[in-house]
Amino acid sequence: MPLISKTIFGCVAFAGLWNVALAKSDPECLKHLGGGYGDTLCYGDLSADLVKDNKRIYEKVRAKIPSNNPHAKLLDAYMASQDNALKFCELQRDAGAGWEKSPDGSMYPALYAECVYDLRKSQNAFLADLLKMSEW
């Protein structure tokens, strides 16, 4: 293969690997937490993946609920309450920063991101269990 073809092929292959790497976060980042910006990115990426998975699971469960069944509204209310609960993550972040709103350049945004991740992870477990129960 000529050098130019190898170079182009290598760049295309690298770009493909780069897209795969960006497509989903790496949970290994949880093993390297240190309280800074990297933590915020780690939790943020993992949370984004969970949001997508939670939506997917929610849609599967929602499709199994008969129309006009009150549980459909209850499931919708649960999903809305989980989104609403994210605002309470600000309490933990801002308490440690002397109640300053959105303190940047410190470890406090990582506390917020961790709280969001924990909520989304809990939501994911609940929805996964709900899906299993609905498939019995």
Domain with 118 in it: what CATH number?
1.20.1270.180
104 within domain boundaries: yes
Q: What are phi and psi of 57, to 5 degrees?
A: -65, -45
User: Does residue 117 form part of some domain?
Assistant: yes
Give the pLDDT score at 46.
94
The answer to whether residue 52 sits within a structural domain is yes
Residue 80 lies in a domain: yes
Examine residue 101 and state whether it is found in any structural domain, yes or no: yes
pLDDT in tens, 38-92: 888 888 899 999 999 999 999 999 999 998 999 999 999 999 999 999 999 988 8
User: Can you give the length of the chain in residues?
Assistant: 136
Range of the domain at 37: 27-134
Determine, yes or no, domain membership for 31: yes
The residue-averaged pLDDT of 109-130 equals: 94
Q: Is residue 3 part of a domain?
A: no
Q: Tell me if 20 is assigned to some domain.
A: no
The proportion of the chain whose per-residue pLDDT surpasses 90, expressed as a percent, equals 49
d(CA 124, CA 133): 14
Number of domains in the chain: 1
State pTM to two decimals: 0.76
The helix (H) or strand (E) run that includes residue 72 is helix 70-85
